[in-house]
Amino acid sequence: MTRRRTVVTGIGVLSPIGIGHQAMWDAAMAGASGVAPITLFDASPLATRFAAEVKGFVPEDFMERKQARRFDRYQQFSMAAGELAMRDAGLTAAPGDGTRAAIVVGSCVGGLSCAETAVHETGLRDPRSVTPFFILNVLANMAASHLSIRFGFRGPCWSTNSACATSTHSLGDAARLIERGDADVVLAGGAEAPIGFMCIAGFNAIRALSTRNDEPATACRPFDVTRDGFVLGEGAAVFVLESAEHAAERGARVHAELAGYGSSADAFHLTSPAPEHDGAQRCMRAALADAALAPSDIDYINAHATGTPQGDIAEATAIRAVFGAHAERIPVSASKSMIGHLTGAAGAAEAALAILSMTHGRLPPTINLTSQDPAVALDCVPNVPRTAHPCAVLTNSFGFGGTNASLVFRAPHER
């Protein structure tokens, strides 16, 4: 069976530096930081009192007021990102009767904030105060289900959950549906709203978060020798993926081709990468092989690069192992320096920036990079965007538990 090509025809993003992919891109080109003191709740007792929140989000701009009141924040984000992606693709509903349209939209923690609020309000004493929407808000697959109902997608519908690699796996799995002929159109990505007391306290407990409370805007410092942990973020990124034939038949604009997908497991440790980041190496090699590209064909890498002391070095080591001498010539930037770590939505949001780098001929910077760690021997695009014309880009996502995913995108004119 001939493998069908997968193309990106719609991108919908809610990020801490902008709502809509163009707003996010413009802010990234300005080197904006979306990190600031937390406003969603009283964070004063916490060791980390800042995060990357989505600003200016009005749920009623994207859904009915009744829905907005009933949905958890991560579900509101997914609905908004899905709406933006569909508009960008020039679609208002699933094509035809919807049976050839699928959904793969995931979340890392789902409705954790809703669960935390419910426990706080009931005090675990009065079951009558639990809303009938509680369970539906907590379940991580409800983002996918709400989008299915909203747009009439009646094909396969599920949610991925692979920690920080969630939405990257979503995009890759969605491409597989198209390649196999199981769907013509897929809404794919991730949504996350994890900024709450328990989530931050939990990450503080394992010493994963930065604690630069006096300078939050510069707290996320991937690749910098002074990095001290990641910055928790929130948001959503959803793509419309289509078979190349389906997109051509309806005259759709194509942002990029999703050409390669790789996935692996470290099988080593819950929070630490394997030695030499073997899992990441195999993952990137698999994505390159799937795209039928050599390492020298990649023009830009959007790194997972969270700003943790161990993780950044491990990823840099893996990149050098996979790309060899070419690693010295590939620009590698860390978008989390601007948007924070969107956990389950991170991979898709960063993939959007990687795709837009091909569209606009510029590379997003790694901000807050003032003293690059000598152990990270890469061109990390420090602090300011760079003019370039990448034709093939790679994005990485590595999650807690040792789960890894990489994607390769090609510019649409490359075939």
Give mean pLDDT, residues 290-311.
97
Q: Is 218 helix (H, G, I), strand (E, B) or coil?
A: helix
Q: Which of 169 and 134 is assigned the larger pLDDT? A: 169
Assign 229 a pLDDT band (cuts: 50, 70, 90).
Answer: very high
What is the reported pLDDT for 302? 98
What is the reported pLDDT for 21? 98
Give mean pLDDT, residues 334-339.
98
Is the predicted pLDDT of residue 122 greater than 80, yes or no?
no
Note whether residue 279 is domain-resident: yes
Give mean pLDDT, residues 55-84.
96
Closest C-alpha to 236, from 340, 109, 348: 348
Is the predicted pLDDT of residue 415 greater than 60, yes or no?
no
Note whether residue 53 is domain-resident: yes
What is the reported pLDDT for 1? 63
User: Which listed residue (108, 114, 157, 164) is catalytic?
Assistant: 164
Least confident of 119-123, 167-171, 285-289: 119-123
Give mean pLDDT, residues 312-320.
97
403 touches 309 (CB < 8 A)? no
Note whether residue 412 is domain-resident: no
341: β partners: 232
Least confident of 65-69, 78-82, 117-121, 247-251: 117-121
CATH of the domain at 291: 3.40.47.10
User: Which listed residue (146, 246, 255, 341) is catalytic?
Assistant: 341
Note whether residue 414 is domain-resident: no
Assign 129 a pLDDT band (cuts: 50, 70, 90).
Answer: confident
Q: Which of 120 and 244 is assigned the larger pLDDT? A: 244
Is the predicted pLDDT of residue 125 greater than 90, yes or no?
no
Assign 148 a pLDDT band (cuts: 50, 70, 90).
Answer: very high
Q: How far apart are CA 239 and CA 254, in angstroms?
A: 12
Domain of 140, in residue numbers = 7-400
Q: How far apart are CA 199 and CA 41, in angstroms?
A: 12
Is the predicted pLDDT of residue 276 greater than 90, yes or no?
no
What is the reported pLDDT for 119? 78
Note whether residue 408 is domain-resident: no
Give mean pLDDT, residues 123-139.
81
Q: Is 341 a catalytic residue?
A: yes
Q: Is 164 a catalytic residue?
A: yes
Note whether residue 157 is domain-resident: yes
Assign 279 a pLDDT band (cuts: 50, 70, 90).
Answer: very high
Q: Is 277 a catalytic residue?
A: no
Is the predicted pLDDT of residue 91 greater than 80, yes or no?
yes
Assign 128 a pLDDT band (cuts: 50, 70, 90).
Answer: confident
What is the reported pLDDT for 180? 96
Position of tokens 């990357």?
52
52 touches 233 (CB < 8 A)? yes
User: Which listed residue (108, 255, 304, 380) is catalytic?
Assistant: 304
Note whether residue 413 is domain-resident: no
Q: What's the whole-model pTM score?
A: 0.96
Note whether residue 143 is domain-resident: yes
Give the count of domains, the chain.
1
Is the predicted pLDDT of residue 97 greater than 80, yes or no?
yes
